[in-house]
Structure 1
Amino acid sequence: MKEKFSRRSFLKVGGMAAVGTAVLPGTGFAAPAAISPAIALQLYTVRNELAKDIPGTLKRLASLGIQNVETAFWTENVTVKEAAEYIKDAGLKVCSSHIEIPVDEKSKTAMLETAAAYNCKRMIWHGWPEDKRYSSLEGTKELIGIYNEAGKFAKANGLEFGLHNHWWEYRNKVGGRFVYEWLLEGVDSNIFFEIDTYWVKVAGHDPAKIITQFGNRAKYLHMKDGPAKYTASLSADKPEPMVALGKGTQNIPAIAAAAKPNIEWMVIEMDVVATDVFEAIKKSQDYLIKNKFAVAGK
């Protein structure tokens, strides 16, 4: 499928899982049980289809069994309130929303309006494009300060702020460490992470090991599969076509095993596919459910 729109073409940005308990033998005390992540779809996956027919696209997703979505960008003529109505009419729920960093009155207002429209508390900085401040330790620490302020603003308004990664946080080294290590150490504990497992692999890391390293700081995973190779064209937002989960180079079973203790949401996403996008979504969802890596929704 040829991309009709890139990330830069879109002008508008767009619950914790119940944790079971089990009694520890001989103690009488309850211990947290492993989480079964729920499935959601990042709507960026169907951006081209949404640009043509919002209600039809959302209803088709619902017909495939998708129950929850993560919002991203809408075309300029669609307000977040209108988008929320379309999503509700399709019988879908919003588990999280990608937003701009709330650093000024405009972006702060946009975040609050987005949260209210979607009835969703988890707001995630999408992280695109690469901020050149990640090329130095000083710049990275400056960004950490900005993220911490955003987290405080979110918390003060009853919301949660999260960070989504691309490949540069895992390729760039500053001060002798990868950028992601500085982020994990430096951002406030009330800020959560959405680990994009594909970009982690593109950068040369093992996603399962990264998930384990983040522990309970990571609540979401972006689940995507494909060649997962770093190419120069990535900087121009031209990744190689992705495939349904289980059909590419990702070790999904290892990722799922690492996810069990803490991950609440597995968000299916494909930046670009060479096949029918709805077929790839359906196959991805079925793969996660059949192998008991995740549940349909909540």
Structure 2
Amino acid sequence: MTNPKVALQLFTLRDYDKDDFSAKLRKVSEAGYDGVEFAGFADVPAEEMRAILDENHLVAMGSHTNVDELLNDFDGVIAYNKVIGTSYIIIPYYKMESIEDKDQLVSIVKEIGPKIQEAGMNLLYHNHYHELNHDFGDKTILEMLKEEANEGELNFEIDMFWTTHADHNPAELLNDFGTRCKTVHLKDMINKEEKTMTEVGTGILDLQGILSACKSAGFGWVVVEQDRITMDGYDSIKISLQNVKNVMKELQ
């Protein structure tokens, strides 16, 4: 079984090369990444974005797309992502202040998830901390979403930092979700007391256990992300990628 490819969530570099998306993607490619996960397209037309990706030998692994955009411009979202070759449309966040919020999201994904699948892509949900709490009963919100929307409607991108933040074991959660989880955010923390983000492989996460679970599940991709960086962002993404690749070599 082959190791998954590695993409970078471009939110990591949101403060870099803001006016030159081509330069940003070139530097991501030079760092050694196989692909990228978008968090907006900086007003770059789809055909131009595809050309930049192809020029830099990068794959559009996924696109974080908020629910309002999916509801208000569904055809536009699908058209753009088809051009750039996206595999996953990913809901990056949804407020969960009540059980009604969860019910509303379930209703939305049941409507749009099958349409996204018909277009040749899959709809995923990316978790933060709050979906792993027991705010509305014995089950977490993430478990409720898994049970109330089927595999043809919604699957998951589980964030390893937020999973750890909520006192869950990342590798165990991946195994629990099985085929419903399609990829992960590899995001590390220095310690569980301060919960400060750090480069992947330099913190407390069991990177070997996580990547072993990803490989066993047959993931095509894993995604590096770091929301807050204390060094040059391009240096940071190189460190994270090298640590991921080092562990993958051990798993071969």
With the length of structure 1 as denominator, give the TM-score of the two structures: 0.75
For 1:165, the equivalent position in structure 2 comes to 127
List aligned pairs for 1:24-63, cutoff 5 A. Answer: 34-63=1-30
Contact 1:37–1:266 (8 Å) recurs in 2: yes
SS in 2 for 1:246: coil
1:279 aligns with 2:235: yes
Runs of at least 5 residues in structure 1 that lack an aligned partner in the other structure: 1-33, 232-238
For 2:246, the equivalent position in structure 1 comes to 290
For 1:196, the equivalent position in structure 2 comes to 159
Contact 1:201–1:228 (8 Å) recurs in 2: no
Contact 2:5–2:34 (8 Å) recurs in 1: no
Runs of at least 5 residues in structure 2 that lack an aligned partner in the other structure: none
What is the count of residue pairs matched by the alignment? 248
Q: Aligned-pair distance for 1:103?
A: 4.9
For 1:119, the equivalent position in structure 2 comes to 85
Match of 2:105 among 143, 159, 162: 143
Contact 1:41–1:69 (8 Å) recurs in 2: yes
Q: Aligned-pair distance for 1:156?
A: 2.9
1:264 aligns with 2:220: yes
Write the letter of the residue equivalent to 1:187: A
Contact 1:196–1:221 (8 Å) recurs in 2: yes
Contact 2:110–2:149 (8 Å) recurs in 1: yes
Contact 2:40–2:63 (8 Å) recurs in 1: no
| RMSD across aligned positions (CA) | 2.4
1:244-281 deviation line (CA, Å, top 9, x unaligned): 21111211112122222223211001111101211221
1:156-179 deviation line (CA, Å, top 9, x unaligned): 323221111111101242132211
1:11-36 deviation line (CA, Å, top 9, x unaligned): xxxxxxxxxxxxxxxxxxxxxxx452
For 2:175, the equivalent position in structure 1 comes to 212
Distance 1:169 1:293 in 2: 33
Relative to structure 1, is the Cα distance of residues 148 and 228 closer, same or farther in structure 2, using a 3 angstrom cutoff?
Answer: farther
Q: Which structure's CA Rg is the greater one?
A: 1
Match of 1:243 among 187, 198, 204: 198
Q: Which moved more, 1:106-115 or 1:182-191?
A: 106-115
Q: Aligned-pair distance for 1:80?
A: 4.0
With the length of structure 2 as denominator, give the TM-score of the two structures: 0.88
Relative to structure 1, is the Cα distance of residues 88 and 230 closer, same or farther in structure 2, using a 3 angstrom cutoff?
Answer: farther
List aligned pairs for 1:90-129, cutoff 5 A. Answer: 90-101=56-67, 103-104=70-71, 106-127=72-93
Q: Hey, which bits of structure 1, 4+ residues long, moved more than 6 A?
A: none
SS in 2 for 1:112: helix
Q: Which moved more, 1:196-205 or 1:152-161?
A: 152-161
Distance 2:40 2:70 in 1: 19
Write the letter of the residue equivalent to 1:64: A
SS in 1 for 2:63: strand
For 2:37, the equivalent position in structure 1 comes to 70
1:97-138 deviation line (CA, Å, top 9, x unaligned): 11133653x3202321222221223211112xx41xx23334
